[in-house]
Amino acid sequence: MNVLIVDDEPLARERLSRLVGDLDGYRVLEPAASNGEEALHLIEDLRPDIVLLDIRMPRMDGLQVAAKLCERDAPPAVIFCTAHDEFAVEAFQVSAVGYLVKPVRQEVLADALKKAERPNRVQLAALTRPAAISGAGPRSHISARTRKGIELIPLDNVIYFIADHKYVTLRHDGGEVLLDEPLKALEDEFGDRFVRIHRNALVARDRIERLQRTPLGHFQLFLKNFNGEALTVSRRHVAGVRKLMQSL
C-alpha cells in the first residue's frame, strides 16, 4: 500500500515516515506534501492508496483537501493525524477512515492503516449523507475517543447506554466505550430507536427480547443475543416498556 504524508511540520513528516516505514506492507511516497495545495497535486500524480493528512496547514487545510477528494470517483483513504481533537465530527463528514491525535503511537497507526485498506463504504456513505452534513436528523454513527484514537460506532450496533456519574457507557456488539455526552441528549436524539428503562439507562428497542419479574418483585429486561444477561427496569418505566413490547 502506497502512503502519502501531508503535514506542514518537517519533524512531523519525518516521524510519520519512520513509523510507516517500520510497518510491513506499506511504502511512503516521496516527496511528502507540506500544504493542502501540494497534497492535491501529489495525490493526482502519485495516486496513493492512503493519505496521512494534517488538519491545520497553510493555503488549504486538511478538511478542505478531504472535501475535494470526496468529489473524485476513486479517492484514496484518508487518515487525519492532528494535534487537535476538536475536528473529529468534521473529519468523518468528509469520509475520513481514521482520526489520530498526535503524538501518534505506532500500534494505533498500524490499526488505522489496516482499517484504511478495507474502508467500509456503506459507513462512509451514511456519514456523508446531506442530513448529517447539514446537522439535520440524528447521527448514523457515534464517535468516542479511545486509546485507538477516535472510534466510530454505527448506531445499528449499539445495544444500550448506561449513565454513571460524569460519563455514559455505550455497549455495542464489539465491546464498550465511554462517552462524554448526557444521557438526556442521547434520548432526545435517538428516542425513536431507544427506550428508557431506568433513570440511567437507554436500550435499543430492536434488541428487546422479554421482560421478566423476579421472585423479589423486581423487573429485568433480557436482550437478544446478549448471553443471558439482564438489565434492571425501574418500576417507573415498567408500564412504558410493556406498552412498547406490545407493538414490537
CB 42 within 8 A of CB 59: no
Same topology, domains 2-133 and 153-247? Answer is no
Give the CATH architecture of domain 2-133.
3-Layer(aba) Sandwich (3.40)
The tens place of each residue's pLDDT in the chain, 248 residues long, gives 999 999 999 999 999 999 999 999 999 999 999 999 999 999 999 999 999 999 999 889 999 999 888 877 678 899 999 887 777 767 766 778 889 999 999 999 999 998 887 644 434 444 434 334 445 567 778 888 777 666 778 899 999 999 987 889 999 998 999 998 899 999 998 999 999 999 999 999 999 999 999 998 999 999 998 877 899 999 999 999 999 988 87
Domain ranges of the chain: 2-133, 153-247
Going by their DSSP bridges, the two strands 77-82 and 98-101 should be labelled as parallel
* 153-247: CATH class: mainly beta
Strand, coil or helix: 223: strand
Grid coordinates given for 211: 421482560
Helices (H), 118-229: 121-127, 130-134, 183-190
How many helical (H) and strand (E) elements, i.e. helices and strands, does the chain have? 9, 15
